[in-house]
Chains A and B, each alone.
Chain A
């Protein structure tokens, strides 16, 4: 049996007497059903998952790999979800503009920063068994709870629009009409979500997310010079154009976008829904590190894949998803371009699944309604309704003729960077709250790293948000 978390707040819930000793011939306790709290569908399904974890907890060798397999998920999904459609386009634009140089190690560093922040959500979720929005509501009151939820749901809705644009662009490369592409994406999101089983949802989404690595073969097809790549990682150079205002703004935007609010809410809620406990924190860390590593590899591969455009001085600053794939055909062939388009489609699809789920989790957590991907449709209908509505409204917006999509893409970044300080500050406050975290609260080192990254993220986000709204502040803008 696993160790119980240290409870410091509130009375411990009632617990049914152990079943050991009941084997075979014992009489059934008369009040077996009445003793404990009521059981919901999500509890039964989660208990099945937990039983598998418990069975694999002891023993080394293959069992430890199996245990890792059972416990990974939220970290990989959140990191690969962050490699969404707009992010991949942004990496491609960076590669086409700056080539092999400063941005390769810089991208790796941003994922290191993302790990520092996301690891805290694993501990918070495992120790408290509550989602981020739920904890903010419980510890800091109604105002901040509703603010966190409304802020997230609105920001996610607009972000989802950009994901469906990516889905449309990826499939557009194969000649799929826009309406059909978006509706197909929406149907896939709904089909995955309506499995009504967290485990199935997680594994299907992870299977889709693996396609984020299709950028790696494309990078090899682009034949980057390996000595240049090594040199870039060792020296953080070259930096074409030098350090100017535009470069600083790009770095700020990249730092500000390293962690977005939905990532905090999503991973914590997913950790809770998966049923991770304090005994699983080590695996949660491995999961998050794995996700950060894979996502960094995919992001760096995207930069490398488009370097032929930089070398051949193709003006790609205004390129969007499918245009990159088309422009790459002479350099990486039809196969490489096809893989690139598949990668853009996958990036949008996985992000659409994870981001819409984070909205539904936050809504359920604050409103006090069931919020689990294990819920039955009858019990969790508000949760599924929010999830499907978030994805559906976004897909619908993409399909409206002459909708101001460019404007939406612009405002998404501003909302995401400006919404970050409250979310991340509450994360820091909660993860230092010994009353709820007990021995799993931040250590001095974790605080040093966490506060350092937080200050950097908040300042970079603010600078980016302000300069986007008031571009004339920067002389070269």
Chain B
């Protein structure tokens, strides 16, 4: 208990040493200023670091085209998986999937 209190006192002194507490007490307006002081650059939600578009290298361009093809493949595979059980003659899969006993997970 005493150790905890001592630590709090130490921390409290450190806050004073950093010149944070007293200005806050005497000038509540400075509360906002203190919030500017603590975070690093770019951490404030209203003052984020600005990043422009990436410069695409020779390697990146084909990679992004590969990704576009992947997205098409992905849409196709997911569509097939959704369409199969929904189709009227879904090779029995509709019955398998939709009427399967609800998962007991």
Which residues of A approach B to under 8 Å, CB–CB? 2, 4-5, 7, 9-16, 18-24, 26, 28-29, 32-33, 35-40, 42-44, 46-47, 50-51, 54-55, 85-86, 89, 128-130, 135, 138-141, 144, 147, 162, 165-166, 168-169, 172, 275, 277, 320-323, 370, 372, 402-407, 409-411, 414-415, 418-419, 421-422, 425, 429, 433, 435-436, 465-466, 468-469
B30–A47 contact, CB under 8 A? no
The residue from B38, B42, B48, B64 contacting A140, defined by CB atoms under 8 A apart? B64
- Chain A positions within 8 Å of B71 at CB level: 147, 422
A19-B34, A37-B46, A322-B104 known; A421+B40 contact, CB < 8 A: no
The residue from B15, B19, B20, B104 contacting A321, defined by CB atoms under 8 A apart? B104
- Chain A positions within 8 Å of B100 at CB level: 406
- Chain A positions within 8 Å of B81 at CB level: 410-411, 414, 468-469
Q: What is the bound-complex CA distance between A320 and B48, given in angstroms?
A: 46
B51–A407 contact, CB under 8 A? no
| A–B complex contacts, Cβ < 8 Å, 6 sampled | A5-B40, A26-B23, A403-B102, A410-B81, A411-B78, A421-B70
Interface string of B63-89 (1 = CB under 8 A from A): 110010011011001101110010000
- Chain A positions within 8 Å of B82 at CB level: 411
Q: What is the bound-complex CA distance between A85 and B103, given in angstroms?
A: 13
B29–A28 contact, CB under 8 A? yes
Q: Which of B36, B48, B77: most chain A CB closer than 10 A? A: B36
Q: What is the bound-complex CA distance between A405 and B74, given in angstroms?
A: 21
Kindly provide the distance from the CB of A106 to the nearest chain B CB, expressed in whole angstroms: 23
The residue from A47, A402, A468 contacting B34, defined by CB atoms under 8 A apart? A47
Q: Which of A19, A35, A411: most chain B CB closer than 10 A? A: A19
A130-B51, A422-B71 known; A13+B78 contact, CB < 8 A: no
Find the B residue at minimum CB distance from A18: B37
- Chain B positions within 8 Å of A425 at CB level: 63, 67
Q: What is the bound-complex CA distance between A466 and B74, given in angstroms?
A: 9
The residue from B23, B42, B98, B105 contacting A13, defined by CB atoms under 8 A apart? B42
- Chain B positions within 8 Å of A410 at CB level: 81, 97
A26-B23, A43-B39, A138-B51 known; A321+B29 contact, CB < 8 A: no
Q: What is the bound-complex CA distance between A32 and B80, given in angstroms?
A: 61
A13-B47, A129-B48, A406-B97 known; A4+B104 contact, CB < 8 A: no
Q: Which of B20, B23, B63: most chain A CB closer than 10 A? A: B23
Interface string of B32-67 (1 = CB under 8 A from A): 111111111111111111111111000010011001
The residue from B23, B40, B74, B80 contacting A19, defined by CB atoms under 8 A apart? B23
The residue from A20, A29, A422, A433 contacting B70, defined by CB atoms under 8 A apart? A422
A9–B38 contact, CB under 8 A? no
B42–A407 contact, CB under 8 A? no
B33–A32 contact, CB under 8 A? yes
Find the A residue at minimum CB distance from B42: A129
A4-B41, A19-B30 known; A140+B80 contact, CB < 8 A: no
- Chain B positions within 8 Å of A468 at CB level: 81
Q: What is the bound-complex CA distance between A43 and B70, given in angstroms?
A: 39
New A-B contacts (10) at CB < 8 Å, excluding given A28-B29, A32-B33, A419-B74: A5-B41, A16-B37, A19-B37, A138-B53, A410-B81, A421-B70, A429-B60, A433-B54, A435-B55, A469-B81
- Chain A positions within 8 Å of B35 at CB level: 39, 43-44, 47
A47-B34, A140-B64, A169-B105 known; A13+B74 contact, CB < 8 A: no
- Chain A positions within 8 Å of B55 at CB level: 435
A169–B104 contact, CB under 8 A? yes
B67–A130 contact, CB under 8 A? no
A130–B49 contact, CB under 8 A? yes
Q: What is the bound-complex CA distance between A466 and B76, given in angstroms?
A: 11
Kindly provide the distance from the CB of B4 to the nearest chain A CB, expressed in whole angstroms: 11
Find the B residue at minimum CB distance from A14: B47
Kindly provide the distance from the CB of A163 to the nearest chain B CB, expressed in whole angstroms: 10
The residue from B32, B42, B74 contacting A5, defined by CB atoms under 8 A apart? B42
B19–A22 contact, CB under 8 A? yes
B49–A7 contact, CB under 8 A? yes
B34–A4 contact, CB under 8 A? no
Q: What is the bound-complex CA distance between A391 and B21, given in angstroms?
A: 41
Q: What is the bound-complex CA distance between A14 and B70, given in angstroms?
A: 42
- Chain A positions within 8 Å of B49 at CB level: 7, 9-10, 12-13, 128-130
